[in-house]
Structures are given as C-alpha cells and as structure tokens.
Amino acid sequence: MSEFSLWDIVYNLLLAARWTVLLSLTAFVLGGLVGLLLLMVRTAGNPWVIRLVRGYVELFQGTPLLMQLFIVFFGLPLIGLDVSPWVAATLGLTLFTSAFLTEIWRGCVESIGKGQWEASASLGMNFTQQMRYIVLPQALRIAVPPTVGFSVQVVKGTAVASIIGFVELTKAGTMITNATYEPFTVYGCVAVMYFLICYPLSLFARHLEGKFRHVAR
C-alpha cells in the first residue's frame, strides 16, 4: 500500500483528466465530420444509400459501446492491424458518436418545411446549394442544443475506454485505488471531476435551448 495525500490523488487524476477531455474532443470532432457526411448522402435520396446509412446508425445505436470497443481493439489485430488503446478508443468512440449525431441532425433537417426545399429548387439550386444556403443554416439552430447535450454522453462514454487499457480518468482512478486502498476518496474525486466537465456542458445546452426557443417565438 502506497502513501498518497489527497493532493497526490487529485493531481494524478487531473493529469488523467486531460486524456478524457482530449479523447472526448477528438471523438466528437471526427464523429461530427463523419456524421455530417452520412447526413448529406442520406438526405440526397438514393434508396440504397439511405438503407446503408440507416443500417450503420442502427448497428451502432443498438449495440453497447463496450462491445464496439472490444471489436475494434481485439478484432483489428486479427486482420493484421495492431492498434494502440488510444487509436482503438478514438475509432470506436468516433463511430459511436457519428451514428448518434447523424440521427440527431437528420431529425433537425427533416424539421425544415418542405416549402423551403421547393422554393430553393424553384430558384435553380442543386442539392448541395440547397443544403448549404437554405436548409443547414435553419437546421443549425435546432441542432445546436441537442448536439451540445450529446457531448455530455461522449464525455461519459470515454470511461468505457478504460476496459481496453486506455488510461483516462476512470482507469487512473482504478490504478490509484489499487495503490492506496481508498476507493471512496479516489472515486469520489473521479465523480467530482466528471461533474465539473459535464455540468457546464449541460448548462450550456439548456441555455441554448431556451435561447433558440425564445428566438423562434
């Protein structure tokens, strides 16, 4: 058993929290880019593409994130691709995030009135121009609050990456607990740090939702 002061515990957890934040940001940005691409091809209207994207979304929404990380981390080496825990966690969370963001944004795009599409088509705009100049700017107002709200789920989802050996906040908490035998203190600090990361995002999402609701009126 090692002697750790409260500051030692907090300091080491803060170091690990950097990786939690970095993994969350990386997965959210990459997942957003993939989700936007999937949204564009799904909205284009090709029936086969729509089925493929829908299957992709349902696959990642309908299976546990833990299983997805296991498949990436242990499955890729079977085809000769050795990946580090960081790469596996990033890839798994990116796919998970993209599936949910695609569905969130699809609902926002479909909430735009059909008349907007027809009016822009009457002006001679193609699909890309309709999305860029007419539909997406309006859908953005609707999409921002739930997108920011979902970012909280991404942050909490990073905890699952500890299972494949990625040392983030939860994994560091487990390692420190094994050294100090003070689980209540250590996991209490871990919980507080997750709260300090997630609660501002929840408040921001609530603020945006109220702001956009006020503007809509």
Cα 44 to Cα 90, 109, 128, 148, 194: the distances in Å are 28, 12, 9, 26, 39
- pLDDT value for 1: 52
**Contact between residue 35 and residue 215 where contact means Cβ atoms under 8 Å apart:** no
CA 44 and chain centroid, separation: 24
Q: Cα separation of 61 and 174, whole Å?
A: 28
Q: What is the CATH number of domain 7-213?
A: 1.10.3720.10
Which sequence spans correspond to the domains of the chain?
Answer: 7-213
What six digits make up the tokens of 197?
């990361």
**Contact between residue 206 and residue 47 where contact means Cβ atoms under 8 Å apart:** no
Cα 215 to Cα 91, 144, 149, 207, 212: the distances in Å are 37, 14, 19, 12, 5
Written as one letter, the residue type at 32 is G
Q: Cα separation of 145 and 135, whole Å?
A: 17
Residue carrying the six token digits 């009126």: 217
Q: Cα separation of 152 and 156, whole Å?
A: 6
Q: Cα separation of 154 and 110, whole Å?
A: 24
pLDDT tens, per residue, the chain with 217 residues? 567 888 999 999 999 999 999 999 999 999 999 999 999 998 887 889 899 999 999 999 999 999 999 999 999 999 888 999 999 999 999 999 999 999 999 999 888 888 888 888 888 888 888 888 888 888 888 888 889 889 999 999 999 999 999 999 999 999 999 999 999 999 999 999 999 999 998 888 888 777 766 655 5
Residue carrying the six token digits 């691409």: 37
Measure the CA angle with vertex 200, ends 137 and 142; round to 5°.
Answer: 20
- pLDDT value for 2: 60
